[in-house]
Amino acid sequence: MRVGVLALQGAFREHMATLARLGVEGREVRRADDLDGVQGLILPGGESTTIGMLMAEYGLEDALKQGSLPMFGTCAGMIVLAQEIVGSTQPRLGLMDMTVDRNHYGRQRESFETEVAVSGLEHQVRGVFIRAPVVTRTGPGVEILARHDGEIVVCSEGRCLASAFHPELTDDTQLHRLFLDRFVG
């Protein structure tokens, strides 16, 4: 199995390391031809506006908007997957019928870690929330997998999985394994 990690900006190295721990071949994706031979793609945390602009600049936006590749977006990756972003017209893929509120939990200094119970996982996941978004609206095809303080923080639709927090910044591989087993498998 070979899984790509969007390597334009953000926490892509940490996702590559998590894939390696799971025995999965990871490939850094910077251009559309880097997608050849990958069975899934991880969209890392980082700065969602920058990621969106760079996807367009490097010819990835059109290739990814087809939606044929399973995708896992964490933090900024969740924002990029959303159809709507509160108060923003920034570039996005729009593959998930949801609205997200960027930086919902505040600035960098309001970042926190907590345990999150995710539907379908045996154990809680350690969630690292750094200027994290939340989902404020979901369409009928979106499955809500986890909430924190009532807010939607993990969901899926079709071939996409999205998390408001950074699982790649912990030793916990459960969400990556869920993506690989359920969406890429």
The two tokens of residue 173 are: 């591989």
The closest alpha carbon to 81, from 48, 38, 127, 129, belongs to: 48
Q: Could you give phi then psi for residue 113, rounded to 5 degrees? A: -125, 145
Q: Which residues contact 72 (CB under 8 A, 6 or more apart)?
A: 40, 41, 42, 43, 160, 161, 162, 163, 175, 176, 179, 183
Ranges of beta strands (E only) in 61-179 are 71-74, 82-85, 96-101, 112-116, 125-129, 134-138, 143-148, 151-157, 160-163
Q: How far is CA 151 from the centre of its chain?
A: 17
User: Residues 75, 148, 157, 160: which is the catalytic one?
Assistant: 75
First to last CA, the chain: 9
User: Residues 15, 148, 166, 176: which is the catalytic one?
Assistant: 166
| Residue 176 falls in the annotated catalytic set | no
User: Residues 148, 157, 168, 176: which is the catalytic one?
Assistant: 168
The closest alpha carbon to 45, from 90, 102, 110, belongs to: 102
| Residue 160 falls in the annotated catalytic set | no
Known catalytic residues? 75, 166, 168
